[in-house]
Amino acid sequence: MTSKVTTLVRSAGMEDPGRVVNDATQRPDPEVPERARRRTFTAKYKLEVLAAYDAAPDGEKGAVLRREGLYSSHITEWRKARDVGALAGLAAPRGRKRRDRQAEQIARLQAEKQRLEQELAKTRAVVDVQAKLHALLETLSESADIDPRSTR
C-alpha cells in the first residue's frame, strides 16, 4: 500500500497561511524552566496594588488585575492580611536584627559580675579557713607552753 502526500501549492508572493506577521517576536519562549518558581510579593507591592485596586472605578478593577497579572483571590487575601496588620509586620527588613550595643554591654557586665562574685566567695572561704587555722595553731602553741609533760 502506498500513501500519497499532497503538497500545498503556493502562489508567488504568498506566505505560509498558518503564520502570523511578526509572530516570532510575540510567541513565548518554548523552553520550560527546570523548576517552577512561585511568585513572591513584597509587602510594599501588596499595599500599592491594594491602593490602586481600591482607587480604581468599578469597571476598571479587572484592568488593574490583568495589568499586574493577579487574581481577585490575591486582593481578598491581601486585604485580610492588611486588616489584621500582618503586612505592617512584613514591611520590616528581613535578616538579622541590628546589634544592640547596650544589651551586649549589659550582658557582658552581668557575666563579669557573676564571675567576680564567685571569686569573692572562694576568697572568703580561704580567709575563713586561714582564720580557723590560725586560731587552732594559737591554741596549740599556748597549750604547748603550759604543758606539764615538758621536762626541762
CATH of the domain at 63: 1.10.10
Domain containing 66 equals 39-91
Residue 45 lies in a domain: yes
Could you tell me the three cell numbers for 139?
591554741
Is pTM, for the whole model, over 0.85?
A: no
pLDDT of res. 112: 97
Quick one: 85 and 127 in the same domain?
no
* Residue 148 pLDDT: 60
Within this chain, do residues 58 and 83 fall inside the same structural domain, yes or no?
yes
User: Does a structural domain hold residue 125?
Assistant: yes
Residue 46 makes CB contacts below 8 A (sequence gap 6+) with 78, 81, 82, 87
Are 84 and 120 in a shared domain? no
Q: How many domains does the structure of the chain reveal?
A: 2
53 contact partners, CB below 8 Å, separation of at least 6? 61, 64, 65, 75
User: What is the pLDDT, as a whole number, of residue 76?
Assistant: 93
As a whole number of angstroms, the distance between CA 121 and CA 51 comes to: 65
Residue 139 in domain: yes
Q: Do 82 and 51 reside in the same domain of the chain?
A: yes
Looking at residue 126, its pLDDT comes to 96
- DSSP-derived letter for residue 27 is S
User: Please, what's the b/e burial string for 78-96 (b: 16 or more CB within 10 A of its CB; e: otherwise)?
Assistant: beebeeeeebeeeeeeeee
The reported pLDDT for the residue numbered 95 is 76
| Predicted local confidence at residue 145, as pLDDT | 73
Together in a domain, 78 and 49: yes
Which pLDDT belongs to residue 24? 52
* Separation CA 142–CA 152 (nearest Å): 17
Let me know if residue 3 belongs to a domain: no
124 within a domain of the structure (yes/no):
yes
Q: Could you tell me the three cell numbers for 67?
A: 495589568
* Domain annotation covers residue 69: yes
- From the CA atom positions of the chain, what is the Rg in Å? 44
Three-state secondary structure call for residue 2: coil
Predicted pLDDT of residue 27? 65
pLDDT of residue 28: 65
Q: How far apart are CA 78 and CA 70, in angstroms?
A: 12
Classify residue 24: in a domain, yes or no. Answer: no
Based on the fold, state whether residues 44 and 87 are members of the same structural domain: yes
Supply 140's cell numbers: 596549740
Domain co-membership, 44 together with 76: yes
Please indicate, yes or no, if residue 84 is contained in any of the structural domains: yes
Q: What phi and psi, each to the nearest 5 degrees, are found at residue 102?
A: -65, -45
pLDDT digit of tens for each residue in the chain (152 aa)? Answer: 565 655 545 555 555 444 555 555 566 667 776 777 788 888 889 889 999 999 999 888 999 999 999 999 999 998 988 888 876 666 666 778 788 899 999 999 999 999 999 999 999 999 999 999 999 999 988 887 775 665 55
